[in-house]
Amino acid sequence: MARIKKQGLDYFPLDTDFMQQRAVRRLMKQQGDRAFTVLLSALSAIYGGEGYYVRIDPTFYEDLATGLFDTDEQQVESILQTAIEAGIFDERLFREHGILTSAQIQEQYLFCAKRRKKRPLDERYRLVEQAPEEVSAPAPEADNVAQTPENVTQTPENVTQRHENATLIPQSIAKESTAKHSTRKPLPQGSPGSGGTDTDGRTPSPTTEGAVHDDAYWSGRIAQLSPPPDGRPRNYNGLLFELQRWKVPPQEQYTLILKSSFGTIGHPVWLGISELLKKPGAIRQPGRFLLSKCK
């Protein structure tokens, strides 16, 4: 049975200077410290629900107040109204459609959900220019690629083709030189559905596995990965965001994803990310640093 695709996000980033932003400071000055809690709750409802907006009605204020300790629904409504006036949320869309959103929220949603095949914004609510969807490469024609069911296998748990049975032989190249063949690489140990390596069973280091490949190759490999449906708690989107935030090379990203089992909650990689946040700029090679935490 196919899993239901989720519209919202499991994770969203928050800038460390969020409380120092002028609009947020203005809101807290008028409404007090409780305004920060209400604002954070509203952002969680936005990102966790539709992903980039939330519809406002009387029940929304009540639902938000239910999860707060000493704030009732009238106070929630007043705080959010002040947030709209301060420019934290778009006033026109709230007035015309009764929703909370902003250009910054929509940009963040598109960034966090960029690996999804479809992430369209409702044209009525769109405040940012949406990048065109990546066009998938056309399927090779029959006279260029020979591909048989016996040599290509793809499992639901892992869309990466396995070393033992995945081989593509371009016939057009074979006509020019029979010495050229498609390169076959084993999956690193730790990838779901992988049988391990043929040597000592350890995960190949980023400096040894596929060292001849460029960043585009590894970015493509990452795009093919998908967390296995084994019920383990993960924050895969959050892991991808942090690896990109710290400009970890794609080859090291790929290895970190597999070593952490797709961002499993409680894995040492999260401790490493926490240390990076505490000492921004102090660690020159974040990717290598995070890999050292995975040993």
Residue with the larger pLDDT of the pair 13 and 158:
13
The least confident of 55-64, 166-175, 237-246 is 166-175
- Mean pLDDT, residues 154-181 taken together: 46
Does residue 252 register a pLDDT over 60? yes
**165, part of any domain:** yes
In a domain, 48, yes or no: yes
248 plus 176 within the same structural domain: no
Predicted local confidence at residue 114, as pLDDT: 80
User: Quick one: tokens of 21?
Assistant: 């932003």
Mean pLDDT of the chain: 76
Q: Per 3-state DSSP, what percentage of the chain is helix, strand, and coil (rounded to 5)?
A: 40, 5, 55
- Same domain, yes or no: 32 and 71: yes
pTM for the model stands at: 0.45
Q: Is the pLDDT of residue 59 over 60?
A: yes
Which structural domain, as residue segments, surrounds residue 40?
A: 18-112
Give a yes or no: residue 256 inside a domain: yes
Question: Is residue 128 within 8 Å of 102, Cβ to Cβ?
Answer: no
Q: What is the pLDDT of residues 112-125, one digit of tens each?
A: 888 777 767 889 99
Whether residue 295 lies inside any domain: the answer is yes
Residue 290 lies in a domain: yes
Bridge partners, residue 196, by sequence: none
Which of 161, 187, 213 is the C-terminal boundary of a domain?
A: 187
Asked if 295 and 209 sit in the same domain, the reply is yes
> Total structural domains in the chain?
3
Residue 15, SS3 per DSSP: coil
Domain-embedded: residue 157: yes
Q: Dmax of the chain from CA atoms?
A: 76
Q: Which of 36-40, 64-68, 101-105, 134-138 has the lowest mean pLDDT?
A: 134-138
Residue 166 belongs to some domain of the structure: yes
